[in-house]
Amino acid sequence: MDMGIAGRTALVCAASKGLGRGCAEALAAEGVDVTIVARTEQTLEETAARIRASAGVEVKAVACDITTQTGRAAALAACPSPDILVNNAGGPPPGDFRKYTHEAWIAALEANMLTPIALIQATIDGMIARGFGRIVNITSSSVKAPIDVLGLSNGARSGLTGFVAGVARQVAATGVTINNLLPGAFDTDRIHATIVAQAKANHISEDEARARRIQTIPAGRLGTPEEFGRACAFLCSAHAGYITGQNWLIDGGAYPGTY
Ligand SMILES: NC(=O)c1ccc[n+]([C@@H]2O[C@H](COP(=O)([O-])OP(=O)(O)OC[C@H]3O[C@@H](n4cnc5c(N)ncnc54)[C@H](OP(=O)(O)O)[C@@H]3O)[C@@H](O)[C@H]2O)c1
């Protein structure tokens, strides 16, 4: 299917690896010029070079911390008027809820709630003026079903979800959609860190923790960044203009609810 977004521009945050990279690659494969952001210059440049070579689109790479004001300013300077915004950042560290400090909460809120909100505020009026915009926030299945060791994530991402639910309806008539993609367990560095924490918390080996995690997934496997990216590209497509304010779980059936 032609997604109808060739020639559009996208700002994809936290995109040198994992799910963000999957989204950037899938958008680029549809002919979208992408600006990708991550902190580590070398990995970022390697990813940018790979996307350029495979998709032949314009790829800008901005090495910065997107959770800071200066980082966001640098990203927006490189891509001031994106048609597509993919909000993403590293997830908060796992831990024991009794030990979360005020500073840890502020960092989680900055990364997983306030940064996406700031980027939406900075880009949405341009999208409205041009009559087309797609905003996708990478959140987590923890918004629907909390993960024990990820209390900071459970909380901070729910704040973003509430904000987006309101704004998506406010702009729904303008050609701009805002949706959240909720990853379950995907095969990236991040899931490895979560599995290590669960192994430690439960006094089991990492292999055992990984096997237990996979046992909870009806699909019997972890997801891939490529399939996550393809779902993102569809949400950003010309065909998805009537989908807004949604929370799409991509979790191999792990969430056990009917609705
Ligand atoms: N993988 C899963 O199963 C899963 C499940 C639920 C939720 N999630 C969430 O989805 C998001 C992406 O996860 P992932 O699995 O793709 O992680 P990942 O494989 O560790 O990749 C994270 C990417 O984000 C970049 N990044 C991290 N912090 C950043 C910052 N402050 N500024 C700019 N770039 C930053 C990293 O590059 P640098 O380190 O060089 O900056 C890297 O490119 C995370 O918030 C994660 O918690 C993932």
In ligand 1, which atom is closest to the CA atom of 65? 32
- Token pair 């959609």: residue: 177
Q: Is the CB of 43 under 6 A from ligand 1?
A: yes
The answer to whether residue 249 is domain-embedded is no
| Average pLDDT estimate for 157-169 | 98
Range of 148's domain?
9-184+226-243
- Are residues 149 and 213 both part of a single domain? no
Mean pLDDT of the chain: 96
- Are residues 127 and 211 both part of a single domain? no
- Residue 28 pLDDT greater than 90, yes or no: yes
In ligand 1, which atom is closest to the CA atom of 71? 32
Band the pLDDT of 81: cuts 50, 70, 90.
very high
Element (H, E) at 124: helix 115-130
Percentage of the residues of the chain whose pLDDT score is greater than 90: 92
- Are residues 179 and 191 both part of a single domain? no
In ligand 1, which atom is closest to the CA atom of 15? 43
- Are residues 114 and 218 both part of a single domain? no
How much distance in Å is there from the Cα of 129 to the middle of ligand 1? 31
The answer to whether residue 2 is domain-embedded is no
How much distance in Å is there from the Cα of 90 to the middle of ligand 1? 4
Q: Is the CB of 67 under 6 A from ligand 1?
A: yes
The answer to whether residue 146 is domain-embedded is yes
CA distance 28 to 192: 27
- Are residues 57 and 120 both part of a single domain? yes
Residue 149: its pLDDT value, please? Answer: 87
Nearest to 246 by CA among 232, 256, 258, 230: 232
- Are residues 76 and 111 both part of a single domain? yes
Residue 197: its pLDDT value, please? Answer: 86
Q: Is the CB of 197 under 6 A from ligand 1?
A: no
Q: Is the CB of 140 under 6 A from ligand 1?
A: yes
Report pLDDT digits (tens) over 128-142: 999 999 999 999 999
- Are residues 94 and 208 both part of a single domain? no
- Residue 3 pLDDT greater than 90, yes or no: yes
The answer to whether residue 155 is domain-embedded is yes
Report pLDDT digits (tens) over 82-117: 999 999 999 999 899 999 999 999 999 999 999 999
The answer to whether residue 233 is domain-embedded is yes
The answer to whether residue 26 is domain-embedded is yes
CATH of the domain at 20: 3.40.50.720
Residue 135: its pLDDT value, please? Answer: 99
How much distance in Å is there from the Cα of 239 to the middle of ligand 1? 28
How much distance in Å is there from the Cα of 191 to the middle of ligand 1? 10
- Are residues 201 and 168 both part of a single domain? no
- Are residues 213 and 150 both part of a single domain? no
Please state the φ and ψ torsions of residue 67, each to the nearest 5 degrees.
-85, 0
The answer to whether residue 111 is domain-embedded is yes
Q: Is the CB of 252 under 6 A from ligand 1?
A: no
- Are residues 75 and 201 both part of a single domain? no
- What total of structural domains would you count in the chain? 2
Q: Is the CB of 188 under 6 A from ligand 1?
A: yes
- Are residues 233 and 125 both part of a single domain? yes
Residue 256: its pLDDT value, please? Answer: 93
Band the pLDDT of 72: cuts 50, 70, 90.
very high
Report pLDDT digits (tens) over 174-226: 999 999 999 999 999 988 888 898 899 899 999 999 999 999 999 999 999 99
The answer to whether residue 251 is domain-embedded is no
**Cα 164 to Cα 10, 134, 177, 233, distances in angstroms:** 19, 13, 10, 19
CA distance 156 to 121: 18
- Are residues 17 and 137 both part of a single domain? yes
